[in-house]
Structure 1
Amino acid sequence: MTTHSFLIRDVPKDDRPRERLLTEGAGSLSNVELLAILLRTGSKNESVLTLANRILHHFDGLRLLKDAAVEEITDLPGVGEAKAAQLLAAFELGRRMVRLQYDQRYSIRNPEDCAKYMMEEMRFLTQEHFICLYLNTKNQIIHRQTVFIGSLNASIVHPREVFKEACRRSAASIICLHNHPSGDPSPSPEDIEVTRRLVECGKMMGIELLDHIIIGEHKFVSLKEKGYIH
């Protein structure tokens, strides 16, 4: 008996994700349907929509799937290296398109501008990342750098690492950001201590720390607005 992989065309025409995308727009499709379009084919035992649904269920949605390694994806029955590569390429394009919204001369006028610039990139991180934005005299971003990854600690995030790059780039000021994987951006005592040390060093070097922003789940806290930066 001849077997074949289930294709999008095996689905009734009115229910085909690709046709619905063209007629109704991508925004009308579910995550399962969009994933099915990327996968293109199912396996000899299940339709492409069933496969897409199984993948999303395995990873508990897009949040974990987008960061999955190729080995984690290909471990699933019916998903080979070609399908895994298609998914990883799509996720990377999405990340790059988010970054394309802002060019290198993005201006920071207030904490909201800064949070908007980094929110989508940082809110999904599973570890704390301490990132510095280096600005020119017009408050435009001239460089960004991840200084540290891990739990924030005043003895680990050393001002030397923060201001070394500021001197190298001739930055006029700095904005620091880090994320709380818990989703709660409330500052810890360590966050406040790190901020105070950076403010003091900035004053001595003539490079102002404009703000330290903590990113949570669609929320942020500005330590400048909280009164910890004068």
Structure 2
Amino acid sequence: MTAHISAQPGDIAETVLMPGDPLRAKWIAETYLTDPVCYSSVRNMYGFTGDYRGHRISVQGSGMGMPSASIYTHELLAEYGVKTVVRVGSAGAITERLALRDVVAGIGAASDSNMNRIRFDGIVDYAPVADFGLLRDAVDVAAEQGVTAHVGQLLSSDVFYTDRPDMYQRLAGYGVLAVEMEAAAMYTLAAKFGARALALVTISDHLVHETHLSSEERQSSFAEMVEIALAAVTR
């Protein structure tokens, strides 16, 4: 067991879906997995393992923000032999190219965090990117399901309530599609441990139009994204 995950060796599958919300992890497990077993509830950050169409899959909550996501991603990859992590969460659109409910596959993740600057002694601006094969599978699956998956760069921010909304406009001008809070850390750790990572996010808030989905709409939109993720990791 690790400090934050109470699983025993072998309890966790090599492929893990990672929503931020632990209750969302519970919902995914109970909705999509056959015979899901809860392997951890430390700090109420639930983790489950079950079967999805003949494939062993785990779902682990990551919490909000890169510090929390880094803890769970690191322990999964370093201590439990996980080979594939897929973030399934929400994001805020910062460009007119997107609408509410759209699905975005993050090819890379810019960040305002100092985590990688510290990691590389301030010498290198490391560019965290997704696993290309996993990204391609997700986009192909989305097309097969009649869903347009927008592929582009995300912003992984340390700040939810920003004092610099003008920065979003500048980033959008450089092709960044949406802002979220975890992908850059997950991509970096996957690279460190030789694993695959992808962030799939649903647009729940539009920061240009100042609109957002209701809780009911978030639930239905989230399901579409989860189904793409599950199909992609089991191809």
Q: Establish whether TM, by shorter chain, passes 0.5.
A: no
Name the structure with the higher helix share.
1
Which of the two has greater strand per residue?
Answer: 2
TM normalised by structure 1 equals 0.27
Q: TM-score, normalised by structure 2?
A: 0.27
Q: Which has the larger radius of gyration?
A: 1
Which protein has greater RCO, CA pairs closer than 8 Å, 6+ apart?
A: 2
